[in-house]
Amino acid sequence: MEAHAAHADHGHGHMPVANVSANVNRELFGMGLFIFSELMLFASFFTAYFFIRVVQGQDWMPAGQEIPVGVAGANSAILLSSSLTMHWALEGIKRNNRAALKTGLVLTVLLGATFLGVQISEYLHLGFLPKDSAQASAFFSLTGLHGAHVLVGLIILLVVTRRAFKGHYGPEKEKHWGVEIPGIYWHFVDVMWIFVYSSLYLF
């Protein structure tokens, strides 16, 4: 009886230890959940786009509202190239090659910023506004949503780049998560652009 009471006193006021699997990385799991939520957000915007094209059967785009397919194609190549430089940066730190890490990150930021700059320039020269048609509204919504994600990614990568130049990160797995997790987000942004570009500009 006394032993039972002593055991009860010992456990009183203490939270039980969380059962965390050694095979699950919290940062990776958290990024996975975040990307899933972002997929749902993009899906809602694509739903509006497909409603206009499939359900209502409207032309894409209306007469007098043309989108620059060639410029967007070149801009797509710029953004997709940034996935390669991001991968180069990550592989660099895994091999303890800090020069590759820094160069890869800087190039990724420059390519991402160039993509965003070209997209803004495209907006300024389109000759129509979101209010001009349902198609225009869907176009600006989807490309703008993606552009916002590029901007967030650039801010994150700037922080990562600053830390890289301060000597942070290392080849050990627990020391390069700070590069790998933002890299996963950046690859997600690039993959999403393939769907946006293919849907709005090509088909």
Token pair of 190 as six digits = 């690039």
Residue type, 75: N
32-to-149, 150, 189 alpha-carbon distances in Å: 16, 18, 13
**pLDDT of 15 above 60:** no
**pTM of the entire structure?**
0.85
Alpha-carbon distance of 58 to 135, in angstroms, equals 8
Of 19 and 174, more confident:
174
Residue 190 has pLDDT above 90, yes or no: yes
Domain boundaries, the chain: 70-203
DSSP assignment string, 68-101: -HHHHHHHHHHHHHHHHHHHHHHHHHHTT-HHHH
pLDDT in tens, 159-185: 999 999 999 999 987 788 999 999 999
For the domain made up of 70-203, give the CATH fold: Four Helix Bundle (Hemerythrin (Met), subunit A) (1.20.120)
Question: In angstroms, rounded to a whole number, what is the distance separating the alpha carbons of residues 180 and 177?
Answer: 5
Kindly indicate the confidence band of residue 27, based on its pLDDT and cuts at 50, 70 and 90.
confident
Confidence category of residue 14, pLDDT binned at 50, 70, 90: low
Q: What pLDDT, in 10s, does the model give residues 28-86?
A: 899 999 999 999 999 999 999 999 988 888 888 888 899 999 999 999 999 999 999 99
Q: How far is CA 113 from the centre of its chain?
A: 14
